[in-house]
Amino acid sequence: MLEVENLSFSYKNKKVLCNLNFSIRKGKFAAVIGPNGSGKTTLLNLLTGFMQPQEGKIYFDSRPINEYSINQLARKMAVVSQDVNFRFPFTCLEVVMMGRTPFKERMKVFGKKDLEIVYRCMEETNTLQYADAFITEVSGGERQRIVLAKALAQTPEVLFLDEAFSSMDICYCIKSLNMLRKLVTEQGMTVVSIMHDLNMADTFSDTVIALDEGRLIGWGRREEVMNPEFLNRLFKVKIEKVGSRGLVIVPQL
């Protein structure tokens, strides 16, 4: 579904990504891991078409991503960023309804099908009780769940997440990841998520992409990449494996 060939990108004279080559298959949960400044958010911006590669190619369904129009990409991809700011007091229902905009015909109102999708997505993210509340008045974690509902309302083939659970408490973080895991398994959605929580990455992902200083240093099945020896080198901390899925970071005082 997503193929990256010889991808490089620089900000002015600073190389941020260097000659990346990997692919993500349809219906997989891919976790992107790496230390701060390793190029993870830049990679997502390129994969979503928000920025254009300076070198190399990105293919979506075997077609170069730059050949898709913005509206075509919006019908196939959705993005949830870590920082979500709203200055205008839309209701939460209005925010989630924005996810249906790529499917709305010009000069026409949203239809019954759009409303059904929006309400279903709000139920799945447990945000229906905030429908009439202003997005500017809910907590950070609640806002992230509402924005997640908006992204799901786009009915995307690929969902991109950039630390999308950073403000959620552990309960809703796990509930959200379980819901996405179900969409991946049962409906074939593809999820590409930047994750700093290694336990969550180890628990929910199928594929792991590991970056360090803009270079791809690990890519493959979760069980191949998420091993303590590799993670110790990548993050420079002592990490131990617990069972088939689960990691423990050992503090070194």
For the chain, the structural domain boundaries read: 2-220
pLDDT at 118 over 80: yes
Strand 190-194 with 158-162, pairing: parallel
In angstroms, rounded to a whole number, what is the distance separating the alpha carbons of residues 131 and 147? 12
Task: Give the per-residue pLDDT at 252.
Answer: 64
173-178 mean pLDDT: 96
Ranking 1-15, 32-46, 102-116, 121-135 by mean pLDDT, the lowest is: 102-116
pLDDT band at residue 241 under the 50/70/90 scheme: confident
pLDDT at 182 over 60: yes
Maximum CA extent, the chain: 63
77-82 mean pLDDT: 92
% of the chain residues with pLDDT over 90? 85
**CA 187: distance to chain centroid?**
17
Task: Give the per-residue pLDDT at 249.
Answer: 75
Task: Kindly tell me the sign of the dihedral angle through the C-alpha atoms of 65, 69, 75, 78.
Answer: positive
pLDDT at 253 over 60: no
Task: Give the per-residue pLDDT at 244.
Answer: 75
The number of beta carbons lying within 10 Å of the beta carbon of residue 140 is 11
164-179 mean pLDDT: 94
Q: What is the pLDDT of residues 87-98, one digit of tens each?
A: 899 999 999 999
206-225 mean pLDDT: 96
Instruction: Say what the pTM is.
Output: 0.94
pLDDT band at residue 107 under the 50/70/90 scheme: low
149-163 mean pLDDT: 97
127-142 mean pLDDT: 95
Architecture per CATH, domain 2-220, reads as 3-Layer(aba) Sandwich (3.40)
